[in-house]
Amino acid sequence: MIEIKKNRTEQARMDFVSGLMGYNSTGIGAAMATYYQNKTKKHKHTPQMQEVKEIMEKSPIYKFGSFFERHNHALMFQTTLDILENRKEEVISWLDSYDEKNTLGSLKLNPNLGIPSYYEKIEIHTQPGNYHGPYGGFLYHWMIGPFLVDRDENDEMGWDLANGIPKGDYKKILDLGCGIGKSTFPYCDLYPDAEVYGLDYAAPMIKYGHKLAESRGKKISFVQNFAEETGFEDNSFDLVTALWLFHEIPKPAMRKVVKEAYRILKPGGVFAIMESPPYKMMNKNYNPLSEFLLNSTAIRMHDPSIMTLMKLHRPDLLSEGGFKDTKDVALPNHLTGYDNEGSYFFGAFPWWMTIGTK
Ligand SMILES: C[S@@+](CC[C@H](N)C(=O)[O-])C[C@H]1O[C@@H](n2cnc3c(N)ncnc32)[C@H](O)[C@@H]1O
Q: What is the pLDDT of residues 160-207, one digit of tens each?
A: 999 999 999 999 999 999 999 999 999 999 999 999 999 999 999 999
Ligand 1 centroid to Cα of residue 246, in Å, is 9
Nearest to 246 by CA among 155, 183, 338: 183
Q: For residues 341 and 347, is the Cβ–Cβ distance under 8 A?
A: no
Q: Say if ligand 1 is within 6 A of residue 178 CB.
A: yes
Residue 59 lies in a domain: yes
Answer yes or no: is pLDDT of 6 > 80. Answer: yes
For range 25-46, the mean pLDDT: 89
352 is a domain residue? yes
Asked whether residue 3 is domain-assigned, the answer is: no
Classify each residue of 232-260 as buried b or exposed e, where b means 16 or more C-beta atoms within 10 Å of its C-beta. beeebbbbbbbbbbbbbbeeebbebbbeb
- Of ligand 1's atoms, which has the minimum distance to the CA of residue 226? 20
Quick check: CB of 127 below 6 Å from ligand 1?
Answer: no
Ligand 1 proximity of 177 Cβ (cutoff 6 Å): yes
Question: Is 44 part of any domain?
Answer: yes
**What's the total number of domains in the chain?**
1
Q: Compute the radius of gyration of the chain from its Cα atoms.
A: 20
Distance CA 183, CA 155 (A): 7
Residue 214 lies in a domain: yes
Ligand 1 lined by 125 (C-beta under 6 Å): no
Closest CA to 145 of 301, 18, 2: 18
Is 346 a residue whose pLDDT tops 70? no
- Tell me how crowded residue 11 is: count the other CB atoms within 10 A of its CB: 12
Distance CA 285, CA 282 (A): 5
Q: What is the dihedral of CA 319, 322, 325, 328, to 10 degrees?
A: -40
Residues 29 and 18: their CA atoms lie apart, in Å, by: 15
Spatial separation of the C-alpha atoms in residues 318 and 313, rounded to whole Å: 9
Query: Could you tell me the residue range of the domain that residue 272 belongs to?
Result: 8-357
Count Cβ atoms within 10 A of the Cβ of residue 33 and give its class: 0-12 exposed, 13-18 middle, 19 or more buried.
buried
- In this structure, is residue 231 part of a structural domain? yes
pLDDT digits (tens, 9 = 90+) for 111-154: 999 999 999 999 998 999 999 999 999 999 988 877 777 777 88
Long-range contacts of 347-350 (CB under 8 A, 24+ apart): 347/282, 347/286, 347/287, 347/289, 347/290, 348/286, 349/276, 349/277, 349/281, 349/282, 349/285, 349/286, 349/290, 350/277
Query: What's the CATH code of the domain at 293?
Result: 3.40.50.150
Amino acid letter, residue 317 = L
* pLDDT at residue 39, rounded to an integer: 94
Predicted model pTM? 0.96
- As a whole-number percent, the residues of the chain with pLDDT over 90 amount to 77
For residue 214 and ligand 1, the question of a CB distance below 6 A is answered with no
> Quick check: CB of 183 below 6 Å from ligand 1?
yes
Distance between CA 181 and CA 241 in Å, rounded? 12
- Residue 85 belongs to a domain: yes
d(CA 174, CA 77) in angstroms, rounded, equals 30
What is the overall mean pLDDT for the chain? 93
Return the best residue to mutate from 159, 244, 245 for the ligand 1 pocket (most ligand atoms within 8 A of CB): 245
User: Does 223 map to a domain?
Assistant: yes
